[in-house]
Amino acid sequence: MSSLIHFTKMHGLGNDFVVLDSITQQVKLNPNLIKRMADRNFGIGCDQVLLVEPPTLPTLDFNYRIFNADGKEVPQCGNGARCFGRYVYERGLTGKKQLLIGTQAGNLKVDISDLTCIQVDLGEPIFSPKAIPLNIKAVSKLQKRGNYKIQLLGNNREVVILSMGNPHCVISVPATSEAAVMEVGKALQKHPAFPKGVNVSFMQVLARNHIKCRVFERGVGETLACGSAACASVVAGIIHGELNREVKVDMPGGALTVRWENEGAVFLSGPAIGVFHGEFCIAHQESY
């Protein structure tokens, strides 16, 4: 493997990524290398590292892998999927505008017909505790689908728990500006209900077609945006009868649009921006 690896820095509303192409170069990742790349002082800096791989099935265009800043691989990232789609098109890896991409969470459909607003089909929400995964013994099930009561920091909180290819816990709050994002987010990573951690959304309903959301991502911390969390929050609001089927989601980094029609797939739309291309030194002792 070369001592230098070519990368592209991208972001979706400030949720930032290092994108690596393993089709035209040899890429061998490990947790330490991912952590070094993600480090904002000594590396490139990012929330996630995204890996473009050749398809493993003839029906797919590419495979898509996601690694959090802590080095752990995760199955899904909605903002990353939009950046992935723009990357493979603009780097000449495909000429198609409708892509089918394989992930650990299943196949994603990415529509890059409009590069200013890319749409991702994230599939149907998952409520099965085993599939989320959720330790059902550590929570109390409530009547509505996906609704639970959970013991958290000495209080019982009503939450919505589901998967959008990765686990999400959605908490309704009066104002996102006052939400204890770090305290609650860190506490839920250690909660016995979530054996593989959880992405935590703090949702404030502004209108039936408009919410605010802040997110604590597992393995990262609070991020400026999270696409799958935006989807999970809208699904939770629809279940509670508070939201319409298409909703604008304001996050610290900007706005996304989420649509959930007829209890089927959830569609996420928003920007994907390239920042710069570069080379990263693999060996510690090397410098520019």
pLDDT tens, position by position, 199-222: 999 999 999 999 999 999 999 999
Catalytic residue list: 77, 226
CB-based contacts of 152-161 (< 8 A; 24+ apart in sequence) = 152/184, 152/187, 152/188, 152/191, 153/183, 153/184, 153/187, 160/232, 160/235, 160/236, 160/239, 160/240, 161/132, 161/134, 161/193, 161/198
Percent of the chain, pLDDT > 70? 98
* Overall pTM > 0.75: yes
- Say whether 136-264 and 4-123+272-281 share the same fold: yes
Q: Taking residues 9-24, what's their average pLDDT?
A: 97
Phi and psi at 67, nearest 5°, equal -125, 125
From first CA to last CA, the distance across the chain in angstroms is 18
Domain 4-123+272-281 matching CATH 3.30.70.20: the answer reads: no
Whether pLDDT at 180 is above 90:
yes
Beta bridge partners of 19: 8, 50
Whether pLDDT at 45 is above 60:
yes
Domain boundaries, the chain: 4-123+272-281, 136-264
Q: What's residue 263's pLDDT?
A: 87
Percent of the chain, pLDDT > 90? 93
Mean pLDDT value across the chain: 95
pLDDT band at 283 (very low <50, low <70, confident <90, very high): confident
Architecture per CATH, 136-264:
Roll (3.10)
Whether pLDDT at 159 is above 70:
yes
